[in-house]
Amino acid sequence: MKMYNTNTQAHKMQLKQELHNLYKNKMNISDYSTKVKNLTDALASIGAPIDDEDLVAVTLNGCGKDYSQFPISIVV
């Protein structure tokens, strides 16, 4: 049981790191969104869901300057 828990913790940390380090760069928005969704689904499947506010923040942060005005339009 202890080893399973350790593996799950390590996997959770790895997935969170991947999510926070994911940037759109040259991907199209559809591919980027799919990668974000796959990572958040994987986190949810191991009992570590990302709340909506954090998901929006991480996703918009990874979009880069091409989408810099988008967060402003969400807030307004």
Q: How does pLDDT run across 35-74, given as a tens digit for each residue?
A: 999 999 999 999 999 999 899 889 988 988 777 776 555 5
pTM above 0.85, yes or no: no
Number of domains in the chain: 1
For residue 10, pLDDT beyond 70? yes
Domain that holds residue 61: 2-75
Q: Give whole-number Cα distances, 10 to 4, 7, 14, 43, in Å.
A: 10, 5, 6, 12
Q: Give whole-number Cα distances, 4 to 7, 41, 46, 74, in Å.
A: 5, 20, 11, 40
